[in-house]
Amino acid sequence: MSGSKGYGTRPEAIRHVLEAVGDSAMLLTYAEDRAFASLSLNRFPSVGSVRLDWSGAEVIEWRDGFDPAELRRTVRAHAATDELAVVFWDNFVIPSIALDAALVADHAEAVLEWAARCWIFLADSGLLIEFQDGEGLTVARIPEPVAVLPS
């Protein structure tokens, strides 16, 4: 079975984000999602299926807040206004989106409306923000890819 089966089949779950930002957001295809994940999420080890392992990572900030105001503050503190942001949700059926980081901050309520967890890849800054509802926010520098030597 293809890994793409089921990906992005529930865009209505993020309809408030899409309505708020209009044509400024791009729904990512499975291939685009995986390409951006390879530049961000996939460079961190995971703990279980929806948590990243921050040990060994260059963590820039940890925040206890886990509400839209805290997400807004965090994105504004770490991203340039016109910087590309990719939002990944914790459910594969919700398509990832790409948009300006300023729009993520401006519409933090809509971004967090449906999901208890999300990750925001700040492409120019090389940072990843993890939002875990009830636990807070983590901002870390994305590590360089690990070279795999042929055997």
Q: List, for residues 90-131, the tens digit of each pLDDT value.
A: 888 999 999 999 999 999 999 998 777 899 999 999 999 999
Q: Is 68 exposed, middle or buried (0-12, 13-18, 19+ CB in 10 A)?
A: middle
Mean pLDDT of the chain: 91
**Which residues have CB under 8 Å from 48's CB, separation 6+?**
none
Do 67 and 131 meet the contact criterion of CB atoms below 8 Å apart? Answer: no
> Phi and psi of 138, rounded to 5°?
-130, 135
pLDDT at 1: 42
Q: If we measure between CA atoms, which residue out of 42, 10, 9, 21 comes closest to residue 111? A: 21
pLDDT beneath 70, residues of the chain: 1-3, 49, 146-149, 151
